[in-house]
């Protein structure tokens, strides 16, 4: 007879991967169904020991008491399911920007097997903003899964709807280039909201913003993942800060732009000092 050994660590890892997958896509209908199924399984498992305890305590001795118990269980199931659905609807809402804060939205898209890269980059991006002492001025959000931005028009409309100032989006992937494993942005775009430009302003502003992207890398290799990923995050943060500073200056909000420009200048000085 074949003996089957169950590895608790493997089971725990599978459960973690299951929840990680659906948590990343928690705004999707598929995730709602998965969470509802899991919730009801947990509730069903909990009902039996509660019933046994009440039975042994002789709380349930008659048919009326059993009916009341069943009705209570059904009510609890209904309440928990409704609560979960309410939370799911909140997850799908457009993020909002608090008053007197600058809203930055992180909105890359990827195939399901690469979504972990998005969340990893976002956490690093959050940390980089905090390290630059900008977290009190700038608020950042990872937009819900159900909002997929793939064009400048969609990004601009999203910013107008939310009151955000900057949206970072593009395709994230994992693959090989010249035999080397690479992951990160296949393409990246920064859409910033500012006042309408006069005809003579359009070209200089476009050249200024495009110059911030020149010669920057937004993907990293597995071989040097720590160093290159740090550089990618720095590049994303510095470009985002520059776009914000330009937009705020165009809108006449120079006092908000100054702390961002000062941080960028400090970064340049640190870079020069490191090379000296």
For residue range 89-146, list pLDDT tens digits in order: 888 887 888 888 899 999 998 887 888 888 889 999 999 988 888 888 898 999 887 7
Among 68, 91, 114, give the residue marking a domain's end: 91
User: Which residues, other chains included, contact 42 with Cβ-Cβ below 8 Å and sequence gap of 6+?
Assistant: none
Tally of domains in the chain = 2
**Greater model confidence, 2 or 211:** 211
Domain identity same for 109 and 222: yes
264 with 240: CB under 8 angstroms?
no
- Judge if 225 and 142 occupy the same domain: yes
Question: Do 14 and 70 sit in the same domain of this protein?
Answer: yes
Q: Which of 62-66, 189-193, 250-254 has the weakest average pLDDT?
A: 62-66
What's the predicted TM-score (pTM) here?
0.77
Q: Exposed/middle/buried for 252, CB within 10 Å: 0-12, 13-18, 19+?
A: exposed
Among the listed residues 262, 121, 97, the one whose alpha carbon sits nearest the alpha carbon of residue 183: 121
| 148 phi/psi in degrees, rounded to 5 | -115, 120
Domain that holds residue 178: 102-275
**In terms of residues, how long is the chain?**
276
Strand locations in 110-230 (E): 138-142, 166-177, 180-185, 189-192, 219-221
Q: Could you identify the residue written with the tokens 């200089």?
A: 204
d(CA 197, CA 202): 6
- Looking at the structure, do residues 270 and 166 belong to the same domain, yes or no? yes
* Shared-domain flag, residues 68 and 200: no
């Amino acid at each position: 007879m074949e003996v089957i050994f169950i590895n608790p660590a493997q089971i725990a890892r599978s459960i973690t991967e299951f929840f990680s997958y659906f948590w990343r896509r928690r705004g999707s209908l598929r995730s709602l169904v998965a969470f509802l199924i899991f919730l009801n399984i947990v509730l069903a498992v909990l009902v039996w020991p509660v019933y046994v305890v009440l039975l042994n305590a002789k709380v349930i001795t008659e048919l009326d008491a059993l009916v009341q118990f069943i009705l209570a269980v059904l009510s609890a199931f209904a309440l928990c399911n409704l609560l979960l659905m309410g939370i799911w609807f909140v997850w799908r809402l457009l993020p909002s920007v608090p008053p007197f804060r600058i809203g930055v939205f992180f909105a890359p898209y990827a195939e399901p097997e690469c979504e972990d890269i998005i969340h990893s980059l976002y956490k690093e991006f959050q940390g980089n903003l905090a390290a630059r002492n900008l977290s009190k001025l700038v608020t950042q959000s990872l937009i819900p899964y159900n909002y997929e931005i793939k064009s400048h028009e969609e990004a601009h409309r999203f910013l107008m709807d939310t009151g955000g100032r900057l949206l970072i989006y593009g395709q994230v992937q994992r693959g090989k280039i010249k035999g080397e494993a690479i992951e990160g942005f296949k393409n990246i775009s920064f859409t910033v909201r500012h006042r309408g430009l006069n005809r003579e302003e359009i070209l200089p502003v476009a050249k200024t913003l495009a110059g911030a992207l020149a010669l920057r890398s937004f993907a990293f290799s597995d071989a040097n993942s720590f160093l290159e990923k740090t550089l990618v995050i720095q590049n994303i943060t510095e470009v985002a800060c520059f776009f914000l500073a330009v937009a705020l200056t165009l809108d006449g909000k120079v006092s908000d732009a100054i702390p961002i420009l000062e941080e960028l200048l400090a970064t340049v000085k640190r870079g020069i000092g490191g090379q000296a």
